[in-house]
Structure 1
Amino acid sequence: MNEMEGEVPLSGGRITPGVVRVGDTVRRPVAAGAPFVAELLQHLQKRGFTGAPRYLGLDSAGRDTFTYVPGWVPARFQQWNDDQVADAGALLRSFHEATRSSRLTGASPVVCHHDPGPNNVVFQQGRPAAFIDFDTAAPGDPLEDLGYMAWTWCVSSGAQAPPPRAQADHVRILARAYGLENSERGNLVEAVLDRQNRNALWWQQQLSSPEPRVAGREQILARIDWSRREHDHTAKHRAVFTKALR
C-alpha cells in the first residue's frame, strides 16, 4: 500500500481543504504562510511547548507534514464547563509565553494564533490539550487571541446559550486562568467586540473573492449574519461582562 492509499481525510477546521492523516502524521497543502508556521512550530518545540504539533518537513507530494496529535476536535461551538474554559486560557497563555522575546514576534509582544476557537483545539480526556491549524499565526497583541477565545468559548447569542451573567462568569474564569492583569481586563470586552467585527468583515470580503471560495455564498452570508448577531449580543450586555471582569 502506498502513502496515498493510507490517507484518511480530517475534518474539524472550517477553512483549509485537503488535510489528511497518514499513520501518526498529518499532511496538508502548503499555504502562503507555511515558512512562518514551520519556523514557529520548530521554535515551540525548542521552548518545550507541547500544546502544538511538530513540523516534520515536506512529504513526497510536496505537502507540509506534522505530527498527529491524538484526541478529539469539536466540529462546532458549544457550551464548556469551568475547567475546560480555564484550561483553554492556560493553554493560550503558555503558547504566548513560548513565543515572547523571540524574533518571530517582530515589533509585537507575542505571536498570536489568531483563530484559537474550540474547532482548532485538540481535547484529550475532555480537556483542551493542543492547538492545531496555525495558518493565520502572526505577530500580534495577546488581547487579539484572548478576545477571540472569550467570544468563541464563553459568549453566545444562541437561543440555547446560558444567560449573559453565566457567560460573563466564564469570561472571568478565562481571564483569570490566562493571567490577564487587572489593568488589562477593562480592554477584554472591547477585544471581543473587535474580533466579532473583524470576523464579519473577513467573511464579507470572501463574497468578492474569486472562485473557488472557502465556502458557498449562502454559508458565507450565514456567517456574516452570525458574527453581527454575536456582536450585537456582546454590545447589549457589555455592562454585565465588564462588571464580571472587575
Structure 2
Amino acid sequence: MSYALPIGFALFLWWFATGLIFWLDQLPVRTFKWSVGAASLVLAAALFAIGALSGDTSLTGVYASFTAGVLAWGWQELSLYTGFVTGPRKQSCEAGCSGWRHFGHAIGVNLWHEIAIIVVAVSIAALSWGAANQWGLYAYLLLWAMHLSARLNVFLGVRNVSEDFVPAHMAVLKSFLTRKPMNLLFPVSVTAATIGSVLLFQEAISAPGEEDRAGWSLLAALASLAVFEHWMLMLPLPVEKLWQWSLPQRRDAAKSRNSKPVHFDYTPLKTKLSP
C-alpha cells in the first residue's frame, strides 16, 4: 500500500484534472473568465500551500504539496486552452511555412504561456527554496518537462497529433501539429522518460521512510505517465476514451457558443496570414 496508494493517487489526479480542463475549455466562451478566475484563486492557494508546507515532512504534507504543484500546473493548461494566456501571434501559419521560421511562429503563439510557466516555477522555487518539502516544486517541474517534450514532438511530427483535443477557439494551434511516422527527437524523449521513471521508482523502493516513499512514488507515477503520453503520440490508441465524460462533440460545443469576443477568436477564417 505504501507504493500503490501514491501511484493510484497521482494517476487519478492527472486523469481527473486533465478531464476537467477539457470539459471547461469546451464550455461557452462567456464562461471562460469565470473558469480562469476560479483557477487563479486555486493557483494562489496552491502557491500559499507550497510555501506553508515547505517545512512539513509529514505524509499529509507530502501529498498536499504534490497536489499543489499539480494544481499550479493545471492553471497553465487552462489559461492556454481558454485563450487567456497565449502569445502575440493569433494566426495560423500559411501553407509551406517550415523550418526555423515556422518554429518562430509557434513561439509567437505560445510566448506569454511559456513566460507564465517560468514565472510560476520561479515563484514555487522561491517559496520552498532549501526547505525539506519540495514535492510541489518537483511535481511542477516534472509536468513542465513532460509538456515541453510532448509539444516539441508534436511540432516535429508524430503519428497521432490528437487534433480532437484542441478546442475550436484555439484552432490556430492546429497549424503547428505535424503528422509524420517518426521524428528524431521521439526516441530520445521516450528513452529519457523511461530511464527517469525507473530511477524514480528506484528512489521510492530505497527510501527509508513512508513519507519519502510516497513522494518518490508520486513522482515516479507522473514520469510513467510521460512515457505513456509519448507512446500515445505514436500508437493507434483510442486516447479520447480516457476522457469521454469530458469531451462532448467539439463541433456541437462550438456551435452552442453565443458570445465570441475578439480576444478568443483565434480561428483564421478571413484574415490574411502574416509572414
**So what's the TM-score if we normalise by structure 2?**
0.28
Structure with greater contact order relative to length (CA < 8 Å, sep ≥ 6)? 2
Q: Which has the higher helix share?
A: 2
Q: Which has the higher strand share?
A: 1
